[in-house]
Amino acid sequence: MLLIVQPKKFLKTVLPKPLIYKIQNFLDKISVSRIRGFSLHLNTPDRYVLEEIIIPYFIGRREFYKILFVGCDWFTKPYNGYFKNKEYWTIEIDESRKKYGSKRHIVDSFLNLSNHFTNDYFDVIVYNGVFGWGINNREDTETSFQQCFQCLRPGGILVFGWNDIPEAKPFPVIEECQSLQQFQPYVFSPLSTVQYSVPDKSDEQKFGHVFNFYIKPLTD
């Protein structure tokens, strides 16, 4: 025990703090990752659905060209490569996460989306993992879907990913959010449903991740 603990302690005293922080950060990342190609990917069941089913569907269809992804983190960096043949945008409130975003990146709250884009601009908006992770009350949630509605073209698709667990679900968003009702549920053909609850690896439903698919109705 002494032999195992001592080198760790020793390294902590001799290495500079920023380096220790970087190593710790890297080890934390590795512990929740899987390797795909040359990059690290978050190893959760919902990521698999997002990266292997949802994103490829949009990549493969010409009618979906202008794509917005809301919120960035280290695990969204590889998405730049996925969307290399699209007009791929990212928006993130935290400036330090710009490095994970697209070259077409906006540092701002998603609640101000229409300050940056004209109406009907996007073909697809992926609003995943932000409700309950920053958009945490009814007013902001209403505004967020209003902004999506304004900036999506008629026939454009909204992918809304959220966690159906008490700690990440500020209120029953699907049932109670008014601005969400402007959209129509969209049958996402690869999953044959308008709402997909991702099965967790265990039976605990630790993540409770759900994807809802919507379309902005076509105008007559």
Exposed e or buried b for every residue in 86-102, given b needs 16+ CB within 10 A? bebbbbbbeeebeebbb
Q: In whole angstroms, how close is the CB of 12 to ligand SAM at the nearest point?
A: 29
CB 129 within 8 A of CB 71: yes
Please, what is the end-to-end C-alpha distance for the chain in angstroms?
74
Decide if residue 109 touches ligand SAM (CB under 6 A).
yes
Q: Which residue is nearest to ligand SAM (CB)?
A: 134
Separation CA 112–CA 133 (nearest Å): 17
Decide if residue 130 touches ligand SAM (CB under 6 A).
yes
Decide if residue 111 touches ligand SAM (CB under 6 A).
yes
Site for ligand SAM in 65-94 (CB under 6 A): 70-73, 76, 91-94
Task: Locate 41 and state its tokens.
Answer: 């990917």
Q: In whole angstroms, how close is the CB of 49 to ligand SAM at the nearest point?
A: 12
Binding mask 89-108 for ligand SAM (x = CB under 6 A): --xxxx--x-----------
Residue carrying structure tokens 């999953």: 191
Q: Which is nearer to ligand SAM, 20 or 168 (CB)?
A: 168
Q: Which is nearer to ligand SAM, 73 or 87 (CB)?
A: 73
Which spans in the chain are helix H? Answer: 2-14, 17-31, 45-49, 55-59, 79-82, 138-151, 173-176
Residues binding ligand SAM: what is the number (CB under 6 A)? 19
Q: Which is nearer to ligand SAM, 20 or 114 (CB)?
A: 114
Residue carrying structure tokens 């043949």: 85
Decide if residue 132 touches ligand SAM (CB under 6 A).
no
Candidates 134, 153, 182, 205; binder of ligand SAM (CB under 6 A) is 134
Residue by residue, DSSP assigns 107-138 as ES-GGGGGGTS-TT-EEEEEEES-BTTTB-SH
Contact positions toward ligand SAM, by CB under 6 A?
70-73, 76, 91-94, 97, 109-111, 128-130, 133-135
